[in-house]
Amino acid sequence: MGDRNVRQVEQAKQETDASIRSVAAPGYRGVDELAHGKELLDRGSITQEEFDQLKRRVLV
C-alpha cells in the first residue's frame, strides 16, 4: 500500500512539473538552443566552459 502511495505522489509531481514547464516556457526548444551553442563553440565564438554552462542550464 505504501508503494502505491509513493507512485501516486511521484506521478502527481511529474504531472505538475510538466504543467508548469508548458506554461512557463511555451515553444521552448532546449535541443535547438544546444545545437546553436554547439555551432558557436565550433566557430570559436564561445569557450568550452561557456558551452558546458549552457548545457547545464538547458538540461536542468
Virtual CA dihedral for 44, 49, 55, 56, nearest 10 degrees?
Answer: -170
Distance of alpha carbon 36 from alpha carbon 27, whole angstroms: 16
The pLDDT value recorded for residue 18 is 73
Cβ count within 10 A of residue 43: 8
Q: In angstroms, what CA-CA distances link 31 with 13, 19, 50?
A: 24, 19, 16
Q: How many domains does the chain have?
A: 1
The pLDDT value recorded for residue 34 is 87
- Domain boundaries, position 46: 2-59
User: Could you tell me which of 43, 45, 36, 44 has the C-alpha nearest to residue 55?
Assistant: 36
pTM value > 0.85: no
The pLDDT value recorded for residue 20 is 64
Low-confidence residues in the chain, pLDDT < 50: none
